[in-house]
């Protein structure tokens, strides 16, 4: 009888350690906190490398890479009570973000050609070069299909500039929540 009583006393606290996390994971989100723009020398079938100030690069080898730094947060409810337990870790960015892109504009600080003087939008000249695996390219979307933040978008220029000369590209990203981020490349020489 003592053994049964002892077994019941030991079993009761273990029963209190039931799964408090539930089958639904807590909601995880991310917040865009900026934008970065890099000019890369990316020849076909070779490793890309960052362009240094005043370096020369030909237009077919130029790759503009935009990345979005993000901060993860979770809407997991606070747990209370006097029991201790641990839940499985969350997948980062599980459900993405409520932020959406309002506008994204690429400009140059220098004349590009007759139709694109310094400061004018170059959006009609740029083409997406790389889409991350599984990316759904919907209007105003900044997350991949699996909810992860869009880590990088790569652009190429579809048309050569009028002449060789200095270029410095700037991206302006405006989100629907009013946040505006700008980033620019180093100044370099772009060859046609």
- Report whether 55 contacts 41 (CB < 8 A): yes
- Report whether 64 contacts 154 (CB < 8 A): yes
- Give the pLDDT confidence of 113-166 residue by residue, as tens digits: 999 999 999 999 988 775 554 444 454 556 666 666 777 888 899 999 999 999
pLDDT at site 170: 97
Distance CA 26, CA 147 (A): 14
Q: Which parts of the chain register pLDDT below 50? A: 14-19, 23, 78, 133-137, 139
pLDDT at site 17: 47
pTM of the model: 0.71
């Amino acid at each position: 009888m003592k053994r049964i009583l002892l077994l019941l006393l030991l079993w009761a606290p273990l029963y209190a350690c039931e799964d408090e996390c539930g089958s639904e994971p807590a909601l995880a989100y991310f917040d865009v906190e900026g934008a970065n723009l890099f000019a890369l020398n990316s020849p076909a079938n070779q490793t890309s490398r960052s362009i240094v100030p005043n370096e020369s690069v030909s237009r077919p080898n130029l790759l503009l890479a935009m990345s979005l730094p993000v901060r993860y947060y979770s809407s997991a409810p606070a747990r209370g009570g006097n029991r201790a337990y641990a839940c499985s870790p969350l997948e980062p960015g599980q459900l993405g973000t409520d932020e959406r892109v309002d506008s994204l504009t690429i400009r140059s600080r220098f004349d590009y050609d007759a139709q694109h003087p310094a400061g004018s939008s170059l959006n009609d000249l740029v083409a997406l070069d790389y889409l991350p695996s599984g990316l759904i390219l919907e209007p105003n979307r900044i997350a991949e299909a699996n909810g992860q933040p869009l880590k990088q978008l790569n652009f190429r220029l579809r048309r050569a500039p009028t002449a060789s000369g200095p270029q410095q590209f700037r991206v302006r990203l405006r989100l629907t929540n009013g946040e505006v981020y700008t980033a620019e490349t180093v100044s370099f020489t772009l060859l046609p």
